[in-house]
Chain A
Amino acid sequence: MDENTILEKVKESVVEALGVDEEEVKPDSVLFDDLGAESLDLLDIVFRLEKEFGIKIPRGGIQADALSAEGENLKEEDLVVDGVLTPLGIRKLKQSMPEVDPARITDGFRADDIPTLFTVQTFVNIVKKLLAEKA
């Protein structure tokens, strides 16, 4: 499935879950700040995408592998201390979420706040990755 098809389906799910106008939903729209989403809305979008694409998006897997310490000999505390991202954690998050404006990931950024960064494109990327894994 090409990216454009995925994008159209993701946009559709966002429109249905949030009740926003289709014209408002752009790839770089931030779900919380631009489209008024709350955390339960993300769950709503997740379930719609799962149904639409026949995939399973785990709770923790929603945010790519941004803070996964696996495979790099990193420990959790190298990336997050007391819920706050370390400089290395910030660097890794920016790398793994290239669709997010890096200026939004500032010093002292909390891991809990990562969902507030999500854009429409974030979900497109997640779906793309999961479809590729499924294939």
Chain B
Amino acid sequence: MGIGIDIVEVGRIQQLAEEHEAFITRVYTEAEIRYCSGKKNRHQHFAARFAAKESVLKALGVGWARDVKWTDVEVVNDALGKPQVNTYGEVKRLMKEKNVREILVSLSHTAGYAIASAQLVKG
């Protein structure tokens, strides 16, 4: 336990975003929307963040049973461009419960796919 990985198709994210108004606002935080919307390949960035959220939830062992929102996991970039995970609500509570100090993520994307992995740092 303590690691998670996820891969998504960029086109699928784009399709969901275009077909369902609620998709972006339900899944992404304001900071994420701001960041991704400013990018040329914004769907790649949205897709990478979706994969990151899923990989974090997998690493924490969160099934669909929990009262978890997609926006409870936020991936932002620090000044050097390194992705950083912020957590809120139920996910933040779970981190505390599982004695997780920090969550590290790594993202990668091409035109077709976005992939992310997450690792829990205990302590």
A residues with a Cβ closer than 8 A to B are: 39-40, 43-44, 47-48, 50-51, 58-60, 62-63, 66-68, 80, 82-83, 110-115
Cβ of A80 and Cβ of B23 under 8 Å apart? no
Q: How many A-B residue pairs have CB under 8 A?
A: 61
Contact: A114 with B64, CB < 8 Å?
Answer: yes
- Quick check: B20 and A63 within 8 Å, CB to CB? no
* B76 is an interface residue with CB less than 8 A from chain A: no
Closest 4 pairs (CB-CB, A-B): A111-B63, A67-B65, A83-B61, A47-B20
Given contacts A44-B19, A51-B20, A59-B64, 15 further A-B contacts (CB under 8 A): A40-B8, A40-B9, A40-B13, A40-B16, A40-B50, A44-B15, A44-B20, A47-B22, A58-B67, A62-B64, A63-B64, A110-B63, A111-B64, A112-B58, A114-B63
* Given A40-B16, A50-B22, A60:B61 Cβ within 8 A: no
Q: Is the interface of A mostly helix, strand, loop or mixed?
A: helix
Task: For the complex, give the distance between the alpha carbons of A7 and B103 in Å.
Answer: 41
Query: How many chain B residues touch the partner (CB < 8 A)?
Result: 24
Binding site for A on B (CB under 8 A): 1, 8-9, 12-13, 15-16, 19-20, 22-23, 50, 54, 58, 61-70
- The answer for the CA separation of A48 and B21 in the assembled complex, in Å, is 11
What is the CB-to-nearest-CB distance from A62 to chain B, in angstroms, rounded to a whole number? Answer: 6
Tell me whether A47 and B64 are in contact (CB under 8 A): no
Residues of the B chain whose Cβ atoms lie less than 8 Å from the Cβ of A112: 58, 61-64
**A62 CA to B9 CA, complexed, in Å:** 23
Alpha-carbon distance between A109 and B115 when the two chains are bound, in angstroms: 26
Name 25 interchain pairs, CB-CB below 8 A, sorted by A: A40-B8, A40-B13, A40-B16, A40-B50, A44-B15, A44-B16, A47-B22, A47-B23, A50-B22, A60-B64, A63-B64, A66-B65, A67-B63, A67-B65, A68-B65, A80-B63, A111-B61, A111-B63, A111-B65, A112-B58, A112-B61, A112-B62, A112-B63, A112-B64, A114-B63
